[in-house]
Amino acid sequence: MTRNFRLSLALLAVAVFLTACPSNPASNVAITAASADAVAYSADGGDWQVPDNPDEFTIAARSSYQVAVRCGDSTNIYAFAVSDATAVDFSCAPEKITYTVTYDATQVTGADHVMLFAQQTSALGSGNTGQIAVTSGVAGTQDLVLVVYDGTGAAIAARMETLDVSDGGSYSITVESGDTGHLRGGGSVSDFSSQVPAGWTSSSGFVVAMTPLGTQVILDFILSSGGSYTSFDFAKHDAVMVSVKDQSPNPSKTLAQLLTSHAPAASFEVQLPEVFDATVSHEALPEFSNLNRASSDLVGYHLQIEWGTQTISALVSKAFLGSSASYRIPDLTGVSGFSGAKPASGETVKATAETLESNADWKDVLKKPLHGMPLDLPDLNVKIAGDIEEYVAP
């Protein structure tokens, strides 16, 4: 009898231990959301909560999490599985600053005008000497690139200066005659006109050079016929973004591809994705369905609604969806800082659903804030197929 009693106690202790230590323990997800107007999160499908420190906080989640970040009129929702990434940066874009750059390109024969590139902005300078006022810059150490063009618009020289830029600062760049040697020809983008579906007449594309600190230098604009381009030897790598659009008014379709290289002056081969047909419920905060793209490279979906000046975007990973093929834009209006994040009755809503096929892992993409496409990652291949529809919110 005593032996059986002791055995029962031992079994009870094991059961309590197993209950206290589940097979799927919570993981800590480190979130950075600097410069945000409001931040909220939900772990494992639970209620939305507001962190004590919205700039940096940790979520304890077993399987999935969502983070909502409000940046002005834009609300960005990130829905991921713990297996996707446990250290992410969902920060808003930093505040814009103004500064001036005095330039001198008189040493370059044939110099007609210049263009200054700084991070994701650019500004024109007329003539071979003068001053450029940058009105939408960002502060911090960065690469400033001054490209010199001749009268035909062809680049003939370029110079990169790494400077610590601050609001109201004044800087100078002198382009020397030897800076003509920074040009690197031989880059190309393949002809993808045969991949454009019949009746789709709109196509566009551009090539940029990415500097070591992430400045984007526009090199050329590309049509579906492709073509050659010239880069610079100081570039970390190049990137090309091409897109085509169905001219149907509502709904309409888009196909796009982003490619980055390993070195400047690369050869890009465009391969557009297949057309995507999504379904969206015509509600103020709609449900997107048919999210079941059959592709081994599918990593998730970008879902967005726009009305007036406001936008709600949801970046939803494949792992977050699991076996589900739908996602509803959450109602955050009852959460502190998110009032008004919902179209009113009678508002015209533009809903966009995009597939994301990529060779990159989310943990690599989310290390830096996603202010646009992750052009700073080398050897990247992202295919995007979009379905766009407009309706009136009930």
* Whole-number pLDDT of residue 44: 97
In this structure, are 388 and 279 located in the same domain?
yes
Tell which residue, 325, 332, 329, 335, has the closest CA to residue 284: 329
Q: How distant, in Å, are the alpha carbons of 13, 118, 217, 219, 244 from that of 207?
A: 65, 16, 8, 5, 15
CA distance 95 to 119: 13
* Whole-number pLDDT of residue 203: 83
In this structure, are 76 and 113 located in the same domain?
no
* Whole-number pLDDT of residue 372: 64
Name the DSSP letter for residue 383. Answer: E
List of the chain residues with pLDDT < 70: 1-23, 371-373
User: Domain ends where: 175, 201, 226?
Assistant: 175
User: Domain ends where: 268, 302, 336?
Assistant: 268
* Whole-number pLDDT of residue 15: 44
In this structure, are 238 and 313 located in the same domain?
no
In this structure, are 294 and 382 located in the same domain?
yes
Residues written for the chain: 394
Helix (H, G, I), strand (E, B) or coil at 340: coil
Amino acid at 377: L
Angle at 325 between CA 324 and CA 331, to 5 degrees: 85
Q: Which domain holds residue 149?
A: 97-175
Domain assignment of residue 200, yes or no: yes
H/E run at residue 2: helix 2-20
- pLDDT tens for each residue of 48-79: 999 999 999 999 999 999 999 999 999 999 99
Cis? peptide before 369, omega within 30° of 0: no
Tell which residue, 222, 224, 228, 234, has the closest CA to residue 266: 228
Percent of the chain predicted with pLDDT > 90? 86
Domain assignment of residue 362, yes or no: yes
Q: At 100, list the tokens.
A: 């001036």
* Whole-number pLDDT of residue 250: 86
Domain assignment of residue 192, yes or no: yes
10 Å CB burial of residue 198 (0-12, 13-18, 19+) is exposed
CATH, residue 171:
2.60.40.10
* Whole-number pLDDT of residue 23: 63
10 Å CB burial of residue 27 (0-12, 13-18, 19+) is middle
* Whole-number pLDDT of residue 9: 46
Provide the number of structural domains found in the chain. Answer: 3
Whole-model pTM over 0.85: yes
- Which residue in the block uniquely carries the two structure tokens 């055995």? 7
* Whole-number pLDDT of residue 326: 98
Phi and psi angles of residue 305, each rounded to the nearest 5 degrees, phi first: -125, 145
Domain assignment of residue 88, yes or no: yes
* Whole-number pLDDT of residue 249: 82
* Whole-number pLDDT of residue 10: 47
Domain assignment of residue 51, yes or no: no
Tell which residue, 88, 89, 44, has the closest CA to residue 63: 44
Name the DSSP letter for residue 49. Answer: B
Domain assignment of residue 45, yes or no: no
Angle at 265 between CA 262 and CA 266, to 5 degrees: 55
In this structure, are 236 and 299 located in the same domain?
no
